[in-house]
Amino acid sequence: MNLRILIIAITAVFFVADVLGQNQRHVITPEEVLTIRELSDVKLSPNGKQIVFVVNEPNDPNSPRAPRASNIWTVPVDGSEPPRLLISNAGSPRWSPDGRTLALLSDRENSTQIYLQHDGEKSVRLTDVPGGVEDYEWSPDSKMIAFVARDQATPEEQARRVAGDDAIVRPERDLKYTRLWVVNLSDGKATQVTKQNFEIVEFAWSPAGDELAVTVAPTPRD
C-alpha cells in the first residue's frame, strides 16, 4: 500500500509539472542552474528505518570559484520527522553492514579522509593517508574498510611545482597510481594491499570478507 501511494504521488507530481510546463514556459538560465540544490548518494540503513543522503548546496555568489558545499542529511523512512542536517562538509555516506556506524568522507582538515559516526555522536576521523581517500567500502563483518588512495608527488616534484615548474607534459611522466588499502577499525591501522603499478577502477569484498576483487587499468592516463 505504501509503495502504491508513493508511485501515485510521484506520478501526480510529474503530471502537475507537465501541465504547468505546457501553460507557462520558462527558459532556465545558467545563473538559475547554479542555485539548484542537488540530492545524491541516497543510502538506506540496514534496519530499513533511516535514510541518509547528500545535498550539494548552490554556489556562493560572492565566491563563484569556490567548490560547492556538500552536506549529509537524514530522514526517517516513515516520514515521522522532516529531513535534518546530520553532518556538514561531508559526502559519500556508507552504513556499516551491522547498521551501527555511518562512515563518510570529509575534507574538513584539508585532506579527504574517512570519518566514522556512532549513533549521532560527533564523527571521528579514521584514516590519515597523504593525498586523501578517493573511494571506500565496508567489509561484510563491519570490522574493516577497504579504500583507495593515490600516490603523491615526491618532495623533489613538490619543490619544482612550488618553484613554478608546473607544466603539464603529454604523455605524462612519473604517473601516480592508485593503491588499495585496508584499515582495521579496532586499532585504526591501515595496511597497503596492492603494490603493483596499475590504476584501480573498482573493488569489492567477497561475501566471506576474506578476499577483494579488483578491476584495474594498466595506466591512469585518460
* Residue 218: DSSP 8-state: S
Average of per-residue pLDDT values in the chain: 85
- 3 domain-assigned: no
**pLDDT of 32:** 80
Mean pLDDT of 23-33: 78
Q: Domain span at residue 57?
A: 34-126
Of 91, 126, 161, which residue is a domain's last? Answer: 126
Distance from the Cα of residue 128 to its chain's centroid: 17
**pLDDT of 22:** 53
**pLDDT of 23:** 58
- 12 domain-assigned: no
137 and 94 within one domain: no
Of 101, 126, 151, which residue is a domain's last? Answer: 126
Q: Return the minimum-mean-pLDDT range out of 13-17, 42-46, 203-207.
A: 13-17
Count of domains forming the chain:
2
- 26 domain-assigned: no
**pLDDT of 163:** 81
Supply the pTM of this predicted model.
0.79
**pLDDT of 1:** 44
The C-alpha cell that represents 159 in the structure block: 619543490
Preceding omega of 130 cis (within 30 degrees of 0)? no
**pLDDT of 146:** 98
pLDDT score of 11 more than 80: no
101 and 57 within one domain: yes
For residue 90, the tally of other CB atoms under 10 A from its CB is 22
The C-alpha cell that represents 99 in the structure block: 547498521
143 and 118 within one domain: no
